[in-house]
């Protein structure tokens, strides 16, 4: 990461066509500058600033209940530090344990996984040979490099572009809103579920080397995107939220995740 302040940002921003998948469900996000944040909305989103990120890859879809159940069957319910991966006793959970294995509820296998803690999201991604995206990576994957307000552009949200305003715990299967995909071909970056990121919550401008990416188990972690029970006003890509340690160590009915990597997975 390096700052692009003073480099004449705006001429560098051009529209990106949707990128092809680099591997099984993983989308390439080219390296280069982009605009992060917003000066027109909540104070925590300001100042808008230019940022340079190297090339990375990010999952096209959020991790599903079926995929996370496979992880629980392989790794169990707790991290090596003793942190819970998943709130299996929460009535909002869509994964149950029966006959010694975890299974998603019928009809919810392809819905995004809910009630996953930050530790569960972190270790699932490591299990898959990936990692959680940083807050900056998430925003670039969601908005491209032209400073758009939503993944699909600047037009207001519509139901064919995102899952929102649906009510409590009303998720839908991943990938049903292709009209709302980002310039990089990533689906559901806003709507259906908010998403854990690797980053601690710190004020802008974003600096990767200021400690916000340190592996502190007690820190707040940024959550990006919007969920099924958010309104249309919450779907802009610059909104930032965070959860304190208790929230980080537990799951939520409206928070999921996806994984990213800096490694080329094309050969896998």
Global model pTM greater than 0.85: yes
CA distance 180 to 206: 26
Give the residue ranges of DSSP H helices in the chain.
65-75, 118-127, 135-143, 245-248
pLDDT over 70 at 268, yes or no: no
- Domain covering 2-63+123-261: architecture: Alpha-Beta Complex (3.90)
CB 164 within 8 A of CB 234: yes
- Reported as type and span, the H/E element at residue 127 is helix 118-127
Can you give the residue ranges of every domain in the chain? 2-63+123-261
CA distance 95 to 109: 9
CA distance 34 to 142: 11
150 alpha carbon, distance to own chain's centre: 14
pLDDT over 90 at 81, yes or no: no
pLDDT score at 249? 66
pLDDT one-digit tens code per residue, 144-197: 999 999 999 999 999 999 999 998 999 999 999 999 999 999 999 999 999 999
Average pLDDT over the chain, rounded to an integer: 89
Q: State mean pLDDT over 42-57.
A: 96
pLDDT over 60 at 94, yes or no: yes
Higher pLDDT residue, 98 or 59? 59
């Amino acid at each position: 990461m390096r700052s692009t302040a003073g480099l004449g940002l705006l001429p560098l921003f051009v529209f990106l066509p949707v990128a092809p998948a680099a591997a099984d469900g993983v989308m390439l996000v080219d390296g280069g500058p982009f605009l992060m944040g917003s000066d027109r909305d909540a104070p925590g989103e300001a100042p808008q600033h230019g940022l340079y990120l190297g090339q990375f890859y990010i999952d096209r879809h959020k991790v599903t209940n079926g995929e996370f159940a496979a992880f629980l069957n392989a790794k169990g319910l707790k991290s090596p530090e003793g942190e819970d991966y998943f709130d299996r006793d929460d009535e909002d959970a869509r994964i149950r344990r029966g006959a010694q294995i975890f299974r998603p509820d019928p009809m919810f296998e392809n819905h995004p996984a809910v009630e996953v803690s930050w530790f569960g999201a972190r270790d699932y991604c490591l299990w898959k040979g990936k990692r959680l995206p940083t807050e900056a990576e998430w925003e670039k994957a969601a908005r491209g490099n032209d400073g758009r307000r939503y993944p699909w552009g600047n037009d207001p949200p519509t139901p064919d572009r995102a899952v929102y305003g649906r009510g409590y715990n009303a998720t839908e299967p991943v990938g049903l809103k292709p009209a709302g995909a980002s310039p990089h071909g990533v689906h559901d970056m806003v709507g259906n579920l908010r998403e854990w990121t690797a980053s601690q919550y710190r004020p802008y401008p974003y600096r990767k080397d200021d400690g916000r990416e340190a592996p502190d188990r007690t820190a707040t972690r940024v959550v990006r995107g919007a969920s099924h029970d958010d309104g249309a006003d919450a779907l802009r890509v610059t909104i930032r939220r965070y959860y304190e340690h208790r929230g980080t160590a537990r799951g939520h009915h409206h928070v999921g995740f996806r994984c990213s990597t800096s490694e080329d997975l094309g050969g896998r």
